[in-house]
Amino acid sequence: MTAERIVILGADAAGMSAAHEALRTADRQGRSIEVTVLERGRHTSYSACGIPYWMAGDVRSADDLVARTAEQHREAGIDLRLGVAATGVDPAGRTVATADGAVPFDQLVVATGAHPVVPDWALDDDGTPLDRVGAVHTLDDGEAWLERFAVAGAGARVVIVGGGYVGVEVAEAAVRRGFEVTVVTRSRVLSSLEPEMSDRVATAMTDAGVEVVLDAEVTGLDRDADGTVTAVRWDGGSRPCDLVVVALGVLPSTGFLEDSGIPLGEKGALMPDARGRVTERVWAAGDCCDSVRRLTGDRVYRPLGTHANKLGRAVGANLAGGRRTFDGILETAITRFEGGGQYVEVSRTGLSLQDARAAAFDPVTLVTEGTTASGYQPEAEPIALWVMADRITRRLLGVQVVGGRGAGKRIDAAAAVLWHGGTVDDLAWMDLSYSPPFSTAWEVLQVAARRVAERI
């Protein structure tokens, strides 16, 4: 029996999860497979999410961000080829095109990830990246930022274009490094939060000394006679600066699939089903894919390492004879902003008000303020919770949290209720843990849910 040839494109979270799980599953099932991974870059299995904390100084070196090295993957029996980019896929002919020739496959996994959005203004006339301007995506980006930070020195002026998760996390890094920081965002800070919750984050950042410019679309950079960037310009304003961070999100790296016939959705994302399958003999996982929202059933592009790990693992199991489904996402997310004397944890799960209305729910929402621990405890920190439920079914639709230490991870209990299709009453009345250093006797998440329940 000849071994089935599994070819995986991309050696980060999704691809390597698929690779290892395929080997484990094949072993269990007594199947014979060969796993080849083609990776266009020179790194494997690194935490992109950790780069802002490396920039902040929390992480000692790039090595710490690498979960498994190429050697470790190879020791597990994976034929890992670095510096090999796929330039096309022929599903019918079962080959992947590369600069070095065609690679045949029996089953293909596309896990090529995503690349940052870099607008024209961040590039020179010939398309090369400008000096002192860059994104935050790869380990090389992180290395470049550490060098730029070192050269610029304390007190340098950093403008961050983009107020999403990466923008906020890099703002933290820059504040903690002692820079003068401006964040310019098209809409709000963390626009996946409702305005009243986003405002709380923006306030914490402002209190930390960050200049937050809302509703501003960056239109270009000023440069001096030498070509050095001197300022960021937007509609109605500009800010002199030494460094410019481009944090405008990412797009699926699927350009090489354009002529493959494999269907691509919004933003060019692959659209795997719950098994991770996209078409005959082709699977996909990770930041090159969109996801199905469990609450509405529609597809959205939400690249995130935790989804990549899960769907990658499911794909690895399924293509080797296992059985595993990835049953949708809740858009659960968490981050924090620390620095300048401020500390705020931020998390969300479920739909936004706008999304709930678009899905024809009849949403009731309320913000509740409380404390993370019993009020008399030194651990008590302020916390605000936005809760949304449907008026007709009483179903819980979404929760957002902004608060002090211990606030953020509370979102997981709400996510679990959403996962099970529970009601706001379930959240309000179920048996959550209580002890004075950890919660109020009515856990604040449950108070927030109860108050919404009482308004339905």
Nearer to a copy of itself, 59 or 97 (CB): 59
49 is catalytic: yes
Of 97, 300, 334, 366, the one binding a copy of itself (CB under 8 A) is 334
Strands 79-82 and 33-39, by their bridges, are: parallel
Residues 402-431 as x/- pattern, contact with a copy of itself by CB under 8 A: ----x-xxxxxxxxxx-xx-x---xx-xxx
Per-residue DSSP letters for 326-347?
A: ---B---EEEEEEETTEEEEEE
Residue with tokens 């999410």: 49
Q: Please, what sign has the CA dihedral across residues 121, 125, 131, 134?
A: positive
Cα dihedral 12, 15, 21, 23, rounded to 10, equals -110
Residue 211 found at the interface with a copy of itself (CB under 8 A): no
Minimum CB separation of residue 192 from a copy of itself in Å reads 13
Which ranges of 320-443 would DSSP assign to H, the alpha helix? 353-358, 411-419, 424-429
Minimum CB separation of residue 447 from a copy of itself in Å reads 10
288 by Cβ neighbours in 10 Å (0-12 / 13-18 / 19+) ranks as buried
Nearer to a copy of itself, 40 or 410 (CB): 410
Of 439, 448, 449, 452, the one binding a copy of itself (CB under 8 A) is 439
Of 301, 326, 361, 386, the one binding a copy of itself (CB under 8 A) is 326
Q: In angstroms, rounded to a whole number, what is the distance separating the alpha carbons of residues 76 and 67?
A: 14
Angle between helices 13-29 and 305-319 (to 10 degrees): 30
Of 37, 53, 161, 282, the one binding a copy of itself (CB under 8 A) is 53
Nearer to a copy of itself, 121 or 442 (CB): 442
191 by Cβ neighbours in 10 Å (0-12 / 13-18 / 19+) ranks as middle
Nearer to a copy of itself, 260 or 332 (CB): 332
Minimum CB separation of residue 78 from a copy of itself in Å reads 19
Residue 332 found at the interface with a copy of itself (CB under 8 A): yes
By CB under 8 A, what part of segment 161-200 binds a copy of itself?
A: 165
Residue 455 found at the interface with a copy of itself (CB under 8 A): no
> What residues contact residue 87 under an 8 Å CB cut-off, 6+ apart?
97, 98, 99, 256
- Known catalytic residues? 49
> Which residues of this chain interact with a copy of itself, rule CB under 8 A?
13, 47, 49-50, 53, 58-60, 64-65, 67, 165, 294, 304-307, 309-310, 326-336, 345, 347, 349, 374-378, 406, 408-417, 419-420, 422, 426-427, 429-439, 441-443, 445
